[in-house]
Amino acid sequence: MTTGLTAEIIAAMPDPELIIRLMKKLRKLTASGHLLKNSLGYTEVLMEELYALASSLYDKGQFYEAGEFFQELFHLDPLSYKICYGFGATAQQTEEWYKAISLYAYAAENKPDAPEPLYFSAECAIQIGKEAGAADLYRKAAALCGDKAEYKELKERSQALAASLEKRIKGGQAPLCLQDEPKKSS
């Protein structure tokens, strides 16, 4: 079952019902710990090392390569917040907006108190012309930041961007960016 926050992210997708069905199936398959990483005997130490390699590729700006690596990690453990989040970030860097939104939805589902997936989903939603949804996501990200010192800057940015988008929408201005077709995965 999706959380309210995840539902907001999914609403930006072209076929939200499909994403919800896929998430439910994934949850059902993994509910009892049946993860590919377990079946293959991968330890948490090995998973951490593989994650570090994927992150290293991302940090070097090798986003397509990092995306391929994160995709394999996602198959091994789709319940890992940081794998879903990293995979979403690589999709965003390669302008695969719909893919990034769905991966950030998985990350938000795996760690509902994290504001980052909502914030970056909002960035992607803008790219596909969903400014009202982006404003909602920014507001929800700011709310999740609360009064935590480590999220002070993210909260301020989220609030400012939500207000700016709401002003644009009320003023009837054209979308900031609109991509009609999802970019093909490489």
Phi, psi of 133 (to 5 degrees): -65, -40
As a whole number of angstroms, the distance between CA 31 and CA 63 comes to 31
- Contact assessment for residue 150 and residue 58, using Cβ atoms and an 8 Å cutoff: no
Instruction: Quote the pLDDT of residue 2.
Output: 47
CB within 8 A of 181, min separation 6: which ones?
Answer: none
Task: Give me the amino acid identity at 147.
Answer: D
Q: What is the mean pLDDT of each run of 10 residues along the chain (186 residues)?
A: 52 60 64 71 89 96 95 90 97 96 92 96 93 93 96 96 91 61 45
Cα gap 140→137, rounded to integer Å: 5
> Would you state the CATH architecture of domain 4-170?
Alpha Horseshoe (1.25)
Q: How many CB atoms lie within 10 A of CB 107?
A: 28
Instruction: Write down the pLDDT at residue 185.
Output: 45
Q: Which two tokens stand for residue 168?
A: 């644009």
β-bridge partners, 178: 128
Q: Count of CB atoms within 10 A of residue 171's CB?
A: 7
| Per-residue pLDDT, 5 | 46
Residue 92: partners with Cβ closer than 8 Å, 6 or more residues away: 100, 120, 123, 124
Number of H helices, E strands in the chain: 10, 0
- Distance of alpha carbon 91 from alpha carbon 99, whole angstroms: 6
| pTM for this entry | 0.78
Predicted confidence at residue 178, as pLDDT, reads 47
Q: What is the pLDDT of residue 1?
A: 41
Which residue(s) pair with 128 in the sheet? 178
Q: Which residues contact 56 (CB under 8 A, 6 or more apart)?
A: none
Sorted by where each begins, the domain ranges of the chain are: 4-170
